[in-house]
Every structure is written in structure tokens, then in C-alpha cells.
């Protein structure tokens, strides 16, 4: 079971992530322990040892880049996936060891294959 965090402040994208993760659980017959946070500040204050974090970059109080830096101080191993269409943040993402980027789409965020790739990385890291 993967412990997943979704950090997103817009309801439409929260709903898309719920659908995406529910679909993944069904397609792959796996159980995900999913927590949702409305802002980067929320996850940094209540950090709970996640395996994967899907994080928006632009949020109201603490943006995803600052939150990722704070999380890296707590955990070097967690896989962070930025959810954004803002390609200008790609270079900054390397500073916080972002493993994957997921673009927002009308049909949902990411694909089941993205989580499969994350799972393969976790297995190879012994997570």
C-alpha cells in the first residue's frame, strides 16, 4: 500500500485527482492511503511520512516549491510529483528532486502508468 498526499487548492483538480487515484486503485487492484491538503503550509505542518506527494505549485499561502523544500528537510526519499502546466518551474523542480511532472488535463491528472513508474522507483529504492 502506498501512502499518498495530494496538495491542491482548486476543487476541480482535487476532484480530478480523486477520480484518477480511484481509477488507479481499481485498475491495479491496490489500496492507496490518500490524504488531501489545501495548501503547502498544511502539508508541511502535518507531514506524515508519505511515499508519493502530488503537489500543485501555485497555492494561496505557501506555494508548492517552498513546501517541497521544507518537505525535503524532513524526508529525502519521498517522491514528489508536481501537478502543473507551468513549465517554467521545471528547472527549480530539480533543486527539490522532483521525480516526475504531471500536466493538468481536462480528463484528469496524469495516467496510471505514471504511478506504475513511481511504484517501480519505490521498489528499486527499497520503499
pLDDT digits (tens, 9 = 90+) for 61-90: 877 788 888 898 888 888 888 876 666 555
> Which set of grid coordinates corresponds to residue 79?
517522491
Q: How far apart are CA 36 and CA 19, in angstroms?
A: 13
Rounded to an integer, the average pLDDT of 50-63 is 81
Tell me, what's the pLDDT at 37? Answer: 92
Contact 33, 2 (CB under 8 A): yes
Measuring CA to CA, which residue among 25, 21, 23 is closest to residue 6?
21
Terminal Cα distance for the chain, rounded: 11
Q: How far apart are CA 96 and CA 78, in angstroms?
A: 11
Residues 6+ positions from 35 with CB-CB distance below 8 Å:
3, 4, 5, 6, 48, 50
Burial class for 31, CB neighbours closer than 10 Å (0-12, 13-18, 19+): exposed
Count Cα neighbours of 23 within 13 Å in the Cβ-side half-sphere. 16
Q: Is the pTM of this model over 0.85?
A: no
Residues 6+ positions from 125 with CB-CB distance below 8 Å:
77
pLDDT class for 106, splitting at 50, 70, 90? very low
Tell me, what's the pLDDT at 127? Answer: 47
Amino acid at each position: 500500500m502506498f501512502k499518498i498526499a495530494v496538495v491542491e487548492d482548486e476543487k476541480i483538480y482535487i476532484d480530478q485527482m480523486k477520480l484518477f487515484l480511484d481509477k488507479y486503485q481499481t485498475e491495479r487492484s491496490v489500496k492507496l492511503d490518500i490524504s488531501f491538503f489545501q495548501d503547502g503550509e498544511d502539508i508541511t505542518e502535518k507531514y506524515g511520512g508519505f511515499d508519493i506527494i502530488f503537489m500543485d505549485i501555485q497555492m494561496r499561502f505557501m506555494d508548492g516549491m517552498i513546501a517541497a523544500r521544507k518537505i525535503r528537510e524532513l524526508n529525502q526519499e519521498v517522491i514528489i510529483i508536481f501537478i502543473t502546466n507551468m513549465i517554467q518551474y521545471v528547472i527549480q523542480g530539480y533543486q527539490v528532486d522532483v521525480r516526475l511532472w504531471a500536466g493538468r488535463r481536462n480528463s484528469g491528472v496524469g495516467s496510471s502508468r505514471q504511478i506504475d513508474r513511481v511504484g517501480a522507483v519505490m521498489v528499486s529504492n527499497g520503499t
